[in-house]
Chain A
Amino acid sequence: MKTIAEINERIKNRKAVVVTAEEIIDLVEEKGVKKAAQEVDVVTTGTFGPMCSSGMFINFGHPKPGIKMTRTWLNDVPAFSGLAAVDAYVGATEMSERQGMQYGGAHVIQDFIDGKDIRLYAESYGTDCYPRRDIRTTINKHNVNQAYLYNPRNCYQNYPAATNSSDKIMYTYMGTLLPGFGNVTYSTSGELSPLMNDPEYRTIGIGTRIFLGGTQGFVAWEGTQHDPGQARLENGTPVSSAGTLAVIGDAKKMSSRYIRAAIFDRYGVTLFVGIGIPIPMLDEDMLIKTAVRNRDIVTTLVDKSGREDLGIRLSYETLRSGWVDIKGRRVPTAPLSSLKIARDIASTLKDWIANGQFLLSEPVEKLPYRKERLNSLEIRGE
């Protein structure tokens, strides 16, 4: 048994033993659970995938004379400014009014992180205290006040794999799905994924310090559509979409290596977000959880055309093999989330901790672990 405070002491003294969630698998194989749990202090995880529910708050600073912005555009992408005078929120999936889905909120965020100038245009009705009616200028990360990513739903614990039984090609947020079960796509870093390594949210909670977009960020809240009541395997991992996290971090300190704008053909704009979460090895149970392998975790295969209820569960080992069997057919699989960069994140976080630059945090509050499932939106009369 170790406490987070004890582990932090070891981190400060640069004595902490840190491994990634892939490395721990071999270590447990080699040394056994008991020995590995004694030796290892922290296991790092990582994920880098498209996460639509992302966006950035900005405070532009006040011009003279002042303006209470009511409608705001950044590089022709509408930003929400139904907030105080010069605050706005640009959502990742918002599209340019000139270029459509060729450029969107995610691109504004990436350009901002890259230090580029961004055109700001805002309108107002003018008030006694904020008389200005419109403003046209450029902003960048050096001349605004705060700019932070606040992503209401990132880091999905698991997500259904997608296929298409219809006779038409489908353009979806799960990529291009070829007709007649032409392919299967999936999006996870699997055994390296943060919430797959702490499936029952023992250590990851509100206030947890994390790697976000290349800098330190925090878990702010349960993510939207957080659904811990999903069916689970004996090892605690869910069989389809389950837990999610709302995360927050300073956009000015992020890097576009870990925050990238993306376009899913004929679907829309989204943002690849890089997240890494350290898991303290409090005891043997936590170690067993982080030693989970792709063959021990599964997801559900969904027919995006809605024609067939496939009822197929696939392990991530099978999905990663490149081929799956659907009704006797050999169907190729493709990932949508980058394992290569997820590994980079887990190993960067490992270095930060090993070098004493990143301390672990005790969750301020646990994530909810309720049984009730999600509501759907009913269409009701008045």
Chain B
Amino acid sequence: MKTIKISIYYPVDKITVPLVSTLIKEFDLQVNILHADISLNKTGTLVADLAGDERNVDDALRYIEEQGIGYKLFNKQLIWHEELCVHCGACTAVCPSHALTMSHETWSLEFDKEKCLVCGLCTKACPLNVMSLQD
């Protein structure tokens, strides 16, 4: 079993390729869509977790490439140095996937690793420098 986090970039002319259903049906992958911005006649992005048999995952990546669709794997992960955090909320202003949110009860910062796109925007937006990307 292998799980990868992937950001897929559709050129304008590939937006109609039924990629997700192919990944599921042909390659027996679990696809968990984290973020999608796709509309007709525009370039699109899709961020997802793909999980499945190691060979199937590798074959699927080759298939995506053969379709003329670009992708990038997230090898890094976001580390939140919670003990240094003041829970101001500045990072939540830029987090595109709502992985970083404020608890409306305690007003503590909450980090949902599963939703994180590892985009790194929060590492700069954090005034206390308590977010970092690590391999």
Contacts and interface: CB of A to CB of B under 8 A. Distances in A.
B93 A183 contact: yes
B107 A343 contact: yes
Contact of A176 (B102, B107, B124, B129): B124
Given A263-B127, A264-B127, A335 B89 contact: yes
Contacts of B129: 263
B90 A185 contact: yes
A197 B94 CA distance: 31
Interface string A154-177: 000000000000000000000111
Contact of A336 (B89, B106, B108, B121): B89
B86 A341 contact: yes
B87 A338 contact: yes
A48 interface: yes
Interface in A251-288: 260, 262-265, 270, 272
Interface residues of B, number: 20
Given A178-B94, A263-B127, A265-B124, A335 B102 contact: yes
Contacts of B92: 332, 334-335
Contacts of B90: 175-176, 185, 334-336
A340 B127 contact: no
Contacts, number: 74
Which secondary structure characterizes the binding site on chain B? loop
Contacts of B12: none
A54 B33 CA distance: 46
B94 A338 contact: no
B93 A334 contact: yes
B78 interface: no
Contacts of B121: 176
A340 B107 contact: yes
B87 A341 contact: yes
A339 interface: yes
A338 B93 contact: no
Which secondary structure characterizes the binding site on chain A? strand
A337 B125 contact: no
Contact of B93 (A176, A339, A343): A176
Most chain A CB within 10 A, of B92, B127, B128, is at B127
Contacts of A322: 101-102, 104
A32 to B, nearest CB: 26
A339 to B, nearest CB: 4
A320 interface: yes
A26 to B, nearest CB: 14
Interface of A: 48-50, 175-178, 183, 185, 260, 262-265, 270, 272, 320, 322, 332, 334-341, 343
Top 10 A-B pairs, shortest CB-CB distance? A334-B93, A262-B127, A335-B89, A339-B107, A340-B87, A265-B124, A334-B92, A338-B88, A176-B125, A340-B107
Interface of B: 86-90, 92-94, 101-102, 104, 106-108, 121, 124-125, 127-129
11 contacts: A48-B88, A49-B88, A175-B94, A183-B93, A185-B93, A263-B129, A322-B101, A322-B102, A334-B93, A335-B107, A339-B87
